[in-house]
Structure 1
């Protein structure tokens, strides 16, 4: 018989930023453990419950015991398991006993070659596994595999037993239908009693049935058990409160992390509105928003134009008829935080940003690469060089040098010292207050862009030059001293920096003609001779092409198309996107597959030729080779014209005219002729043919 199952661990307050992951892992771990033991009536997802004081899960249909299953058991090689008389050896008898098959009739053994040896197998039937045994195993496995950020150690009531878990656990519930499943975990014996809201619900709730859990906790305990439903309830209350005060919560996605965190902090959420003095709005909105969201877990409100107002929303764990004390208490708490932000801002503005730059000499960037001031000097040189490469680089004054000088100066300000997330943003405000040129002000903020996938790109030559300089200096410098990302470890954010460079070179029209290889060489030249490994530029280029490979695959391009375009280690990133579109169009041509196969054959022949000396095409006398050379001359001329105009699709399409002559050549002509001069002429013809074919991409990669 099957029935709903509930498993719950009641704990002290769990770490909020980890709660969603812990809840999901707990539920999935138990579900998978029961599934592999054959206890699930039918495939189904687990019900997820997670609050600040509990991890819980439910399943709608779980068996009382697993059903017997036919099973073939692999024993051991025949040579080891049977003696000369065909009787079981002591080794086999020991194996049978361990498998619960002691005394089995040897006539039931089956022989089958497995790998290189003849092996013994036997058919058996597994015994039913009771739910208590299966759940105990699944629960133990789930707890052991939880992604716990930091373990705590605590003693049980006996004063002797030490338990290691994310937080001390106080109760364990395990119900199958209306029956308690006897299991143990973390020194606790299972029962049917759970705990309600700490202040506004029944302290202890006896559950009659597993499927009564959510209702009982909500009605009697004052707890919304489901993390997802609680998050939705908070979002709905926030939206309603924002609308009531004619405001908004800010751009979509800007507060998602905070919403997850407050969902993990409350069990029965209620939203209230608070306010602060309008005089604090003289401080940049980013500072106030960050301190409210990060330190106080408040949701600041913005007006219709997106400007910060003096109102904020509080997500409380208390539902009161008169919340005045909660609101006033939170208003009292937020004022000192806002006052600190105003103090930092006012104090920082007393010193010009340019005067702060020398202080960067006191901050070590990396012990092998020097201080932040040394890094700034490298960025100044590189940013100026990059701006000169941009279309408007020769026009007017270059402000990239000034922007690079000031770009990191806000690192020594009080505000950025308190809120590192504001670097660049505060530099923009301070530079603007100092009267710096607008393009410099903009570049100081935007040189960190893009900060994440889908983020905005820098605007204008100065911003583009500085953003590229910042990222390229990091990539080349850190790769050059061996700080290469490995696995999932990337402490310096070099993958993000590489993707930022690639996006700028791909998407900004001003940067479409920049050569990645030249940029990397320029960055490398900014370091003292011998400081970086000699192969650094090649290493960074390969790393960035690998990131570009992922970008192309994410956009839906076929792996063969991607490899065809990247085979030549291209350095013009914008052209890569144009070329892969051309390759995609070429593959749709009727002649594409044959031409790709021919190109692959050509490359194999040339690779094995190991050089062929001087070429005299006058020696080509067979009709097929003469015809191929004449057609190739015509196609090459048209392809060169189209290629010079960056018409990559036209360049590849022109190849269709050569397909018949290529087929005829390979049908009738022996490339490796005995006469070395004739062989050299034919190999030279194939080399020229391959050069035309691979002008846009290595189309041999398209041949499966």
Structure 2
């Protein structure tokens, strides 16, 4: 067994692309090895800012022998058929073929044994194809070359069993021959390094100031930063994303500490950390109580004779320039109230088919207030909701947000506190964007929750209105994330709200008419949506109702799809979700999930499993007989036609179960309702064991089919059990 070592050495690869590229290269090479019938024991990919490296262990030096069989024509076939068979198999005469009786006659079979060739013979094509197929988010051409790559490619190591693989990469202007040489650190160890295998390669790179293993670079950076913070009397602010990025910027990490001028410390910490993190890739330090410390950690890519003093001074100088801009904008922004910034939103287009940010804010405000009313918020809270929604986007016109878009919302919160606005209003301005993803925090304050809901529902409704729905992997406006945000806001805050109501309200707020919502018109539309009362409605109102219906129904389906995805990721069976959703008319997500939980618990019991089987048996019989007879057996059971004790007992048990379960379902005690259903198990089992449903007597048969329909109807009060698998 031998080792295959490949290194692609180039100019600096963008940090965000390195890990994916290394994994993709590993996948391409190993897949092509497998396709060629070449086995291996393990493969490992590495990346630094200037190289992608792949080492594959346990590769055989020769391909395995191959034995192939090819079926030919029937014995006694014409000479032309036999000649074609010989030509396709390479046999010299038909006597070299075997004759086999297949049960359908005697046929010729050619047995072809091919000796496995040397592995090294197929490696050049595999390496070349893997390099050319490696996907980059962005690529470039350089010089006179036609070849496209992320950055100029300088050299390629290709070693198999310690020897250079013969071959070269044609760039369309020049070629790069496969070799055994690479380079160390650009500044600390310039010059060529020749290697014989991976162990030699890794050791010589380490001696040349290159830490090949990405995880080792991350460990060195993290340990160094934590020690540097401790030495200053502070602690390192946790930032896994920045750690990943910085590990892709350096080959030989050297941790240094710099200072932030005290004159900048009155600027919001989020603005300072955003500037340091986004523009300079500095790590922030914190005091023991979690406040931003006037220090930062910078990771250099080399050691210097002065111990890094010049590097620190240069970084402090650059940071001062950055923070001077931030402080200027901050000081200027505090001079203008958020309310006074609202007219500026009229000049910002949210989307050409949806309208301006000012119109969007008006819609969000109206929807947030309506939602707060439906949740029975008190008058003071509703006023805070109105104010928070109206000011939610005002900070988008500030200089700070213009320079640092990442702090939108956060900036508004600081300004709101500066103005002396109530804390719920200030916090809602910052939190109305949340949650931004599955791991992001969900707001819990009343004001924040309804403003965040309104913001996301408006986004969904307006983009669905213009038919900008997610398709496949395409979701340019992050509508899936918005829907999941709505679901989390409702479920994690246990909000008892019918999702159809805010969707309806939002659907009738047309982009061209967002001022002065006509609540009577809203109620009229809502009534029409629910009961189809068209009397007295104008043609344009009917058209509006139809449009709203389409938007609402599409969005509810979209929400339920996202809910199913979310629950499946948590291990909830998809068929249980489908069973509850199939009932229809359930748009209270909290109640819906309670039904799913109760159903999951019920079907996991013996009683639940047996009743589910009985339900399906009853449903199958009914479906067959109703189709055959052309009628539905959904009428009431005639007690006078109940002939056997088992069917009488079942009829009584179903009535009792329905009587007990119905109020429990109304009270949303779904677990209790399931317990009431469990009492039906024994009568159902006895019925199917002792009673013949398709009796000869026509009336008796029809009554028993109606009894089966009652089984289906009673057990289906909590979910459509036909959707449950198994």
- State the shift of 1:491 in Å: 0.9
* Aligned twin of 2:225: 238
8 A Cα contact 2:345 2:356, kept in partner: yes
Question: Where does 1:10-409 land on structure 2 (aligned, <5 Å)?
Answer: 10-40=9-39, 42-44=40-42, 46-72=43-69, 84-85=78-79, 87-88=81-82, 90=84, 95-96=88-89, 101=90, 103=92, 105=94, 108=97, 122-155=110-143, 161-185=145-169, 186=171, 187-219=175-207, 221-251=208-238, 255-322=239-306, 323-393=308-378, 397-409=382-394
- CA distance in 2 between counterparts of 1:631 and 1:397 reads 50
Report the Cα distance in structure 1 between the residues aligned to 2:337 and 2:490, rounded to whole angstroms: 33
Superposition deviation, residue 667 in structure 1: 5.0
In the TM superposition, residue 557 of structure 1 has moved relative to its aligned partner by 2.2
Cα gap change, 1:112 to 1:433, in 2 (>3 Å): farther
What SS does structure 2 have at the residue aligned with 1:175?
A: strand
SS in 2 for 1:190: strand
Q: Describe the SS at the equivalent of 2:47.
A: strand
1:587–1:95: structure 2 CA closer, same or farther, 3 Å change rule? same
- 2:529 is aligned to none
Tell me if 1:573 matches 2:589.
yes
SS in 2 for 1:154: coil
1:499-527 deviations in Å (ceiling 9; x for gaps)? 11111221113x1x112233322322333
Contact persistence 2:634–2:710 (CA under 8 A):
no
1:94 to partner: Cα distance: 6.4
Provide the C-alpha distance between the structure 2 equivalents of 1:197 and 1:111, rounded to a whole number of angstroms. 67
What is the aligned partner in structure 2 of residue 516 from structure 1?
A: 499
Conserved? CA contact 2:73–2:82, under 8 Å:
no
SS of equivalent to 2:327: helix
Distance 2:293 2:379 in 1: 44
Q: Deviations over 1:563-584 (max 9, x none)?
A: 3333324322122332222222
Q: CA deviation at 1:378?
A: 1.4
- 1:542 and 2:561 aligned: no
CA distance in 2, matches of 1:476, 1:577: 24
Matched with 2:641 is: 620
2:637 touches 2:707 (CA, 8 Å); kept in 1?
A: no
> Which segment drifts farther, 616-625 or 135-144?
616-625
Q: More displaced, 369-378 or 489-498?
A: 369-378
Describe the SS at the equivalent of 1:199.
coil
**Which consecutive residues of structure 1, in runs of 5 or more, have no partner in the other structure?**
none
Correspondence for 1:661 = 683
* C-alpha distance 604-276 of structure 1, shift in aligned 2 (>3 A): same
Distance 2:608 2:108 in 1: 53
Cα distance, 1:428 vs structure 2: 1.1
Q: TM-score, normalised by structure 1?
A: 0.89
Which residue is 1:495 aligned to? 480
Looking at structure 1, the residues matched to 686 and 379 of structure 2 have their Cα atoms a distance apart, in angstroms, of: 53
Q: CA RMSD in A?
A: 3.0
The more displaced of 310-319 and 385-394 is 385-394
Q: Would you say 1:588 and 2:607 are equivalent positions?
A: no
Structure 2, unpaired ranges of 5+: 512-540
Pick which of 375-384 and 119-128 moved more.
119-128
CA contact (8 A) 2:504 2:548 kept: no
Q: 1:121 to 1:200 in 2, by over 3 A?
A: farther
Distance in structure 1 (CA, Å) of the matches to 2:148 and 2:87: 37
Q: In the TM superposition, what is the alpha-carbon distance from 1:619 to its structure 2 partner?
A: 4.7
> Which SS does the other structure have where 1:282 is aligned?
coil
**Is the CA contact 1:597–1:700 (under 8 Å) kept in the aligned structure 2?**
no
Instruction: Tell whether the 8 Å contact from 1:250 to 1:302 is kept in structure 2 after alignment.
Output: yes
Taking a change above 3 Å as real, the CA distance of residues 103 and 247 of structure 1, as seen in their structure-2 partners, is farther
Bigger CA drift: 172-181 or 341-350?
172-181
What is the rounded CA distance, in whole Å, between the counterparts of 2:321 and 2:227 in structure 1? Answer: 28
Q: Mark the CA change 1:28 to 1:232 in structure 2 (over 3 Å): closer, same or farther.
A: farther
**1:643-672 Cα distance to aligned partner (Å, 9 max, x none):** 233221121121121123223444565667
What secondary structure does 2:57 align onto? strand
Deviation at 1:49, TM superposition (A): 2.3
The 2-side partners of 1:675 and 1:343 are apart by 93
For 1:693, which of 715, 720, 723 is the aligned residue? 715
Report the alpha carbon displacement of residue 433 of structure 1 after superposing the two structures with TM. Answer: 1.7
CA distance in structure 2 between the partners assigned to 1:546 and 1:123 by the alignment:
54
State the distance in 2 between where 1:124 and 1:643 align: 71
Cα 1:93–1:526 change in 2 (3 A) is farther
Q: 1:324, CA displacement in angstroms?
A: 1.0
Residues 85-137 of structure 1: CA deviation (Å, up to 9, x unaligned): 473364x56654xxxx4647575378899xx9999975433432323332213
Task: Report how far residue 697 of structure 1 moved.
Answer: 2.2
Name 1:435's counterpart in structure 2: 420
Answer whether contact 2:41 2:57 (CA < 8 A) is retained.
no
Whether contact under 8 Å (1:564, 1:698) holds in the other structure is yes
Measure, in 1, the Cα distance between the counterparts of 2:286 and 2:665: 52
Query: What is the CA distance between 1:78 and its match in structure 2?
Result: 5.3
TM superposition shift of 1:34 = 2.6
Q: Deviations over 1:403-427 (max 9, x none)?
A: 1111111222222222222121111
Residues 33 and 137 in structure 1, CA contact (< 8 A), matched pair in contact too = no
TM-score (norm 2): 0.87
Question: Quick one: distance in 2 between partners of 1:13 and 1:368?
Answer: 42
Question: Match of 1:65, SS?
Answer: coil
Q: Does the CA-based 8 Å contact 1:170-1:188 persist in structure 2?
A: yes
Distance 1:191 1:615, change over 3 A: closer
Name the CA shift for 1:110/1:325 in 2 (closer, same or farther; >3 Å). Answer: farther
Distance 1:656 1:59 in 2: 59
In structure 1, the residue matched to 2:523 is none
State the match for 1:473 in structure 2.
Answer: 458
Query: C-alpha offsets along residues 38-91 of structure 1, whole Å, 9 cap, x if unaligned?
Result: 444x421x2322111111111233332223233446x7x859x9963473364x
Q: Given the superposition, is the C-alpha separation of residues 355 and 213 from structure 1 closer, same or farther in structure 2, using an over 3 Å criterion?
A: same
Contact 1:5 1:211 in 2 (8 A): no
CA distance in 2 between partners of 1:416 and 1:89 (Å): 80
Maintained 8 Å contact 2:7/2:158: yes
Residues 691 and 328 from structure 1, CA distance in 2 versus in 1: closer, same or farther, beyond 3 angstroms?
A: same
Which range moves more in the overlay, 379-388 or 359-368?
359-368
Q: Is this contact kept in 1: 2:136–2:150, CA < 8 A? A: yes
| CA drift at 1:682 | 4.9
Q: Does the C-alpha gap of structure 1 residues 520 and 105 become closer, same or farther in structure 2, counting only changes over 3 Å?
A: farther
- Structure 2 CA distance, aligned partners of 1:119 and 1:258? 68
